Amino acid sequence: MPDRIGAPAVLILLGPPGAGKGTQARKLEQDFGLVQLSTGDLLRAAVAAGTAAGLQAKAVMEAGGLVSDEIVLAILKDRMAAPDTGRGVILDGFPRTAGQAGALDALLAGSGQRVTAAISMEVEDAPMIARVAGRYTCASCGEGYHDEFRQPAKAGVCDRCGGTAFRRRSDDNAETAGARLAAYHAQTAPLIAYYEGRGLLHRVDAMRGIDEVAQALSGIVSRVSG
Ligand SMILES: [Zn+2]
């Protein structure tokens, strides 16, 4: 772990489902003492803690509405003031739009901070779709398999528990996976352009192995927070 990071780092981690964002964020937490903040967790924690912004969020959610950017930012601001974020945070799931990115910049500027880096975990669509589309699990023990990349040693029998029943998630098919990726690209493109325009964007090839991707990310974080 680097012994001293200057100002707390504010990293934005971007990547579609299946790119390995969660795994990599956990590694960055361990290696750099950062705290991953995902929007869903933040909202739940604020509601549970009964903070002013949490109570506002609760009222909106109970009425079936979408929590406004303003409330999310207030919750984020509270959370980033906690002592465990002294080395920095990894934001996951926020900002989602260029408008939210601008609002985040304004929020950070208020406390003399700024986004340190936006890291885009880049994937190739076709292999990603193949990865997701062939997945299935053992119905009794949950062991994961794949049509192409990981078949049981004996066809139709789970390596781990000997079970013979398997299940597939209905949304693990090529069509749904393709649609998810297309939606991700459409939603993220303006955000990527926003950070690119500010010279804060770093692209990482997320198709490589977990360790290689981790090394690339770690190199970026060391450079930007040094
Ligand atoms: Zn099994």
Q: How far apart are the CA of 131 and the centre of ligand 1, in A?
A: 20
pTM for this model (two decimals): 0.81
* pLDDT above 70 as % of the chain: 97
2 marked as part of a ligand binding site? no
pLDDT of amino acid 148 = 86
pLDDT for 225: 81
The pLDDT assigned to 27 comes to 94
pLDDT at 121 over 90: yes
| Residue 138 labelled as part of a binding site | yes
Residue 170 has pLDDT above 90, yes or no: no
Pick left, alpha or beta for residue 64 (phi over 0 → left; psi -120 to 50 → alpha; otherwise beta): left
Summarised one tens digit per residue, pLDDT across range 175-216 is: 988 998 999 999 899 999 999 999 999 999 999 989 999 999
Ligand 1 centroid from CA 134, angstroms: 17
Are 12 and 66 in contact, with CB atoms under 8 Å apart?
no
132 is in an annotated binding site: no
Say which of 160, 168, 198, 203 is annotated catalytic.
Answer: 168
Give the rounded distance of the alpha carbon of 92 from its chain centre. Answer: 4
143, exposed or middle or buried, with CB in 10 Å at 0-12, 13-18, 19+? middle
User: According to the model, what pLDDT value does residue 151 have?
Assistant: 94
Instruction: Assess whether pLDDT exceeds 70 at residue 70.
Output: yes
Please identify which of the residues 21, 150, 154, 223 carries the catalytic annotation.
21
Report whether 16 belongs to an annotated binding site: no
Instruction: Determine if residue 116 is labeled as part of a ligand binding site.
Output: no
Instruction: State pLDDT tens for residues 83-119.
Output: 999 899 999 889 988 899 999 999 999 988 999 999 9
pLDDT band at 134 (very low <50, low <70, confident <90, very high): confident
For the cut 70, the answer to whether the pLDDT of residue 3 exceeds it is no
Query: Could you say which of 58, 77, 131, 180 is catalytic?
Result: 180
Burial group, residue 46, by CB count within 10 angstroms (0-12, 13-18, 19+) = buried
96 catalytic residue (yes or no): yes
The radius of gyration computed from the CA coordinates of the chain, to the nearest angstrom, equals 20
Distance CA 121, CA 105 (A): 21
pLDDT at 2: 43
135 CA distance to ligand 1 centroid (A)? 14
Mean pLDDT of the chain: 91
**Is pLDDT at 142 greater than 90 in this prediction?**
yes
> Is 21 one of the catalytic residues?
yes
In the predicted structure, residue 18 carries a pLDDT above the cut 70: yes
Which one of 27, 58, 77, 96 is the catalytic residue? Answer: 96
